[in-house]
Amino acid sequence: MLITEGGVVNPALSLDEGPDVVTIDPSKPKLEHQQSTVWTRRQQAVSVRHAFKHYGSSKSPNHVLQNLNMTVGKGTIYGLLGASGCGKTTLLSCIVGRRRLNTGEIYVLGGKPGTKGSGVPGKRVGYMPQEIALYGEFSIKETMMYFGWIFGMETPEINDRLQFLLNFLDLPSQSRLVKNLSGGQQRRVSFAVALMHDPELLILDEPTVGVDPLLRQSIWNHLVQITKDGNKTVIITTHYIEEARQAHTIGLMRSGRLLAEEAPQVLLTMYNCQSLEEVFLKLSRKQGQENSAQDANLSNNISLATLQWGKKDEPVYVTEESGVVGLNFHQSKEILIQDSSNGHYDKMNGMAHGSKETTETNCDDCNSCCNLTTKGKTRALLQKNFLKMWRNVGVMLFIFALPVMQVILFCLAIGRDPTGLHLAIVNHEMNWTTKECPIVYNKCDFKNLSCRYINSLRNDTIVKEYYENPEDAIDAVRIGEAWGAIYFNENFTDALVARMALGRDSDQETLDSSELRVWLDMSSKMEST
C-alpha cells in the first residue's frame, strides 16, 4: 500500500511495485496524546454532566434539574447563584449523595457519590444544609463533640478546633443549648460543624444569611485562605449576588439550568456590565427568547476559559439544550488556560498544567463512613441517645412511665379475680325445708361431702343461691340470673366413698351418683373459667 504526500492513497500505484511507504505532510499538525473525557472529569473537584432530576409522577413531573452541566475545579471557590426554587439545594444534595439523579452522572473528588471508596458522603465532604439539621437538646460543645467523633477525630483535636471556631464565628458560650440560640447563631453552629473536620470539599448552602456584614467578610476571607494551597474546594450558594465576586468561578442558575459558568470579572467584561445582577438579567432574558440563535457550532457547557478568545465583537449564544453560555471559536489547536497564580492566560500546545495527576482518591479511610462499629461512632451515638432522652421530659415519661401505667391498668381492669358471681346450687343431701347443711370439721369422716365443698367456696367471689330442682337452676342460668349451676345427688357422699373403695370395679350407677354436675354460662369465658 502506498500513501503519497498528504496521506492520500494513490490507486494508480500497484501493491506489487514496492514496499509500503507512508509519507506524512510536514505542514499538518502532529497528533497529540489526549486524555479521556472521564479522566478529565475526575481531575475536577466536582463534575456534573447532563443532570436531570424531577419530582412527582411520570405523568405530571416537576422538573428541577434540566440537562445541567457543572464543573468545579480543585482549589477554587465556586459561587452558585440563583433565585429560590431554581434547584440549587437539590443539586447540592445530589453532589453529597443524599439524592440521586434521574439521569446524568456526577463525579466528586474523583469518584461517584455513594460508591465504595469514594468517601462521599463521608469525612471528605463538609456539608452545611439550608435547614438547621442540629439536635436542639445538645449544647454547642456537645454538638461539636458528636460530629467530631462521627468523623473519627480525637477529643483533644476536637477541643482545639472548637476554640478556633468559637472565636472565628463569634459564637456564644459553648455550654449554651442549640435550641436556645437565635436563628443566625444556629446557622453559624451548622457552619462550624461543616468546618470541624477540615474536609477537602466544603459545600455551604447560604451560610451568610442573617450574618453581620463584618462576620460575613471574615467568613469569605477564611474561605479564600483555605483554598489558596489548592487542597480545599468550596461550593457556596448565596442570595447576595455581589458578594460572589470574591469567588473564583460563579454559576448563574435559573429554572434548573446554568446560564453561565465563569469567573465574575470575565462575565462583567464579556457583557459590558457594571454588576453581576445586570449580567444575570441579560442571561435570563436571553434564556427566555424562543428564537435565539442556535445554528452556531457550540459545544455543550464548555467553559469560556478553555476556548480560544476570539474577536471582541464575536457573538455570544445561549444553547437551547443546556442553557450555558458558549462562544464561537476558531479551529486552532492551541488551548487557553488560566494561570491561577497570576490571573492571566497562557497558550500551550499540550495539555493543561497538572493534567498528569493521578485519578486515585487521596483518602486513607474512605470506607470508614460505612463502618458503624468504630469506637468514636459508637461513643457519639450512645451520647446522642442518652442526652436526647435525659433532656426531653416527654420522651422520658413515655419510655418509663407509660409501661408502668399500662401494667397497672391491665391488672386493675383484667388481671383481678371476678367477684359477686351468682351460683345456682341444687343439693339433695341437705334438708331443703330448713336449708341446713351440717358440717363437722374436727372429725375425719366422710359425711356431707357436698356441704363441705359448698362451704369451701369463697363468699366474696360466689353468691350462693339454692334451688329445689335442677330445672329451675338451669333456667336461672339461661335468663342470666346466675353464671352457673351445680347439682349434688341425694346419695352423693355414699356413692363417692363407694367409688373410692371399688375403684375400677364400680358400677355405672355408683359412677353417675358420685358425679358433680355443672352447667355454666359460656357467654363470658373469663367469668365461666
Walk me through the domains of the chain, giving residue ranges and CATH numbers.
Answer: 1-31 (no CATH), 37-124+199-289+296-353+364-371 (3.40.50.300), 421-528 (no CATH)
pLDDT in tens, 209-236: 777 888 888 888 888 888 887 688 999 9
pLDDT in tens, 453-500: 888 888 888 888 889 889 999 999 999 899 899 999 888 888 888 988
pLDDT in tens, 53-72: 988 887 888 888 988 999 99
Q: What is the structure's pLDDT at 343?
A: 38
Stretch (H or E) spanning 2: strand 2-3
pLDDT in tens, 106-159: 888 888 887 776 777 788 889 888 888 888 888 999 999 999 988 888 899 999
In degrees, rounded to 5, the angle at the alpha carbon of residue 213 between the alpha carbons of residues 207 and 218 is 70
Asked if pLDDT for residue 10 goes beyond 60, the answer is no
Mean pLDDT check: name the lowest of 246-250, 289-293, 395-399, 448-452: 289-293
The span from the CA of 149 to the CA of 164, in Å, is: 18
pLDDT in tens, 514-523: 898 999 888 8
Band (pLDDT 50/70/90 cuts) for residue 428 is confident
Query: In this structure, are strands 335-338 and 345-348 parallel, antiparallel, or unpaired?
Result: antiparallel
The span from the CA of 40 to the CA of 355, in Å, is: 8
Residue tagged 468559637 (cell numbers)? 166
| Contact criterion met (CB below 8 Å) for 476 and 465 | yes
What 3-state class would DSSP assign to 236?
strand
Stretch (H or E) spanning 81: strand 77-82
Residue tagged 462562544 (cell numbers)? 327
Select from 473, 488, 487, 455 the least CA-distant residue to 521.
Answer: 473
DSSP letter for each residue of 444-474: -----HHHHHHHHS-TTTEEEEE-SSHHHHH
User: With left for phi above 0 and alpha for psi between -120 and 50, is residue 201 left, alpha or beta?
Assistant: beta
Asked if pLDDT for residue 252 goes beyond 80, the answer is yes
pLDDT in tens, 296-324: 443 444 444 343 333 334 333 333 334 44
Band (pLDDT 50/70/90 cuts) for residue 412 is confident
| Contact criterion met (CB below 8 Å) for 196 and 144 | yes
Amino acid letter, 338 = Q
Beta strand spans in 378-494 (E):
421-427, 462-466, 484-488
Band (pLDDT 50/70/90 cuts) for residue 31 is low
- Record the cell numbers describing residue 96, joined without a space: 453529597
| Contact criterion met (CB below 8 Å) for 445 and 452 | no
